[in-house]
Amino acid sequence: MKMTVEEIAVRLGASFDGNPSAVVERVAGIRDAEAGEISFVANPKYAHAASETRATAVIVEPSWAHPCPASLIRAANPEQAFSRVAEWFAPPPVTFEPGIHPSAVVAPDAIIGSGSYIGPHVVIESGASIGARCVLVAGCYIGHGASAGDDCRFYPNVTIREHCRIGSRVILHNGVVIGSDGFGYAQEGAARRKIPQIGIVVIGDDVEIGANTTVDRARFGRTRIGNGVKIDNLVQIAHNVTIGDNAVIVAQVGIAGSSSIGARTILAGQVGVAGHLTICDDVIVGAQSGVSKDIENRGMYLGSPALPFDKATKLIAHMSRMSNLKERVAGLENRLAAIEAKAAKAKS
């Protein structure tokens, strides 16, 4: 696909500076862009990169006044505008013709909705059901009695264990495991005895879960993922956890058993949440924070243990001055020791 700078600006409803006939064929990052490509800058801290770009066009905010050799397209929200442009230049999505691959193993009583694709070496066990227009690519496993709604897409090696329930329009990326046993053991002397994990996982509609993320089945009852939840790669969600609608869980987060995460809450990368805790709606927990107590008030939290943002940043600032404070105290101690020594000498 090819578009001129002027055509792109018109479709975005944006103004532009530069060559209206310059041709754009691809999208790229501001540092990597070459001739024929379009990029964007949403933050002035990347002005230096914009001044050196080889891109044909760059989308910027209306007030942009920094040097840039490319044609400029001025949009109120450069990042959002660039996302729209990226959709225009994206290659056609991979499609799959409905049907069941000859190597797939599908139980006679399993239900496959109309228009669905079942790929190579997929296994669908007895009592399982798959909705209409779903895509299950190579190596997926759907356990006994498990179900998925309409328009789902499961990428290679996704596992849905027995009796778990998946909503509609759910995307599960490579290696996702839904419904593996929770980590539950009872102490018997020096040994640990496995506690049966007899619950399930229930996932709502419009959920997306990243590669190699695991969601454990409940010890009893349900582990629940609400509607519209977005979960990144390499996340561990333990048994009986509840995640509210439209929450965002970023990479390498670990949520221990029986904790509840509120609606629209964001857990940034590598956040750890201890067990049996409640985080209310509309909370943001900063990267690498550790949540050890309930969070009852919406807002931003940071640190380990996680504290309200203002308090956490003050504490971090104080800690950064500890070495200087230590040196000052040592200097005062030395001066005091010298004064005491001088006084003792005077008395003698």
Annotated catalytic residues are 239
* DSSP state letters, 61-93: -TT--S--SSEEEE-SSHHHHHHHHHHHHSPPP
Q: How far apart are CA 263 and CA 16, in angstroms?
A: 40
Residues whose CB is less than 8 angstroms from the CB of residue 207 and which lie 6 or more positions away in sequence, other chains included: 167, 170, 171, 225, 226, 227, 228, 229, 230, 231
Q: How far apart are CA 178 and CA 166, in angstroms?
A: 9
* Cβ proximity of 334 and 340 under 8 Å: no
Q: How far is CA 219 from CA 62, 182, 183, 255, 319, in A?
A: 54, 6, 9, 15, 42
Q: Take residue 221 and report the two structure tokens written for it.
A: 């009852």
* Cβ proximity of 149 and 132 under 8 Å: no
Buried b (16+ CB within 10 A) or exposed e, 71-85: bbbbbeebeebbeeb
Residues whose CB is less than 8 angstroms from the CB of residue 92 and which lie 6 or more positions away in sequence, other chains included: none
Helices (H), the chain: 5-12, 47-52, 78-89, 309-320, 322-347
SS3 label, residue 289: coil
Q: Residue 249 belongs to what H/E stretch?
A: strand 248-249
First to last CA, the chain: 96
